[in-house]
Amino acid sequence: MTPAQTIHNTIETMTTAFAAGDLEKILATYSSEAVIVGDAGQEVRGRRT
């Protein structure tokens, strides 16, 4: 699988889970090294274990 296909599949999984209201499945699409930047530049890193 190419990197582009991996990205596409991840986005599809995430949007399907979002439409279904499945928070656990949405969160499962994030890597443990993920960094999300929200409003005002506030970063959220990693996963809770």
C-alpha span between 22 and 2 (Å, rounded): 27
CA distance 29 to 36: 13
Summarize pLDDT for 15-46 with one digit per residue, the tens: 999 999 999 999 898 888 888 888 888 887 87
Domain ranges of the chain: 3-45
Q: What is the per-residue burial (b if ≥16 Cβ within 10 Å, else e) of 28-38?
A: ebeeeeeeeee
In this prediction, residue 48 has a pLDDT band, given cuts at 50, 70 and 90, of: low
- pTM for this entry: 0.65
What DSSP element (H or E) covers 44?
A: strand 43-45
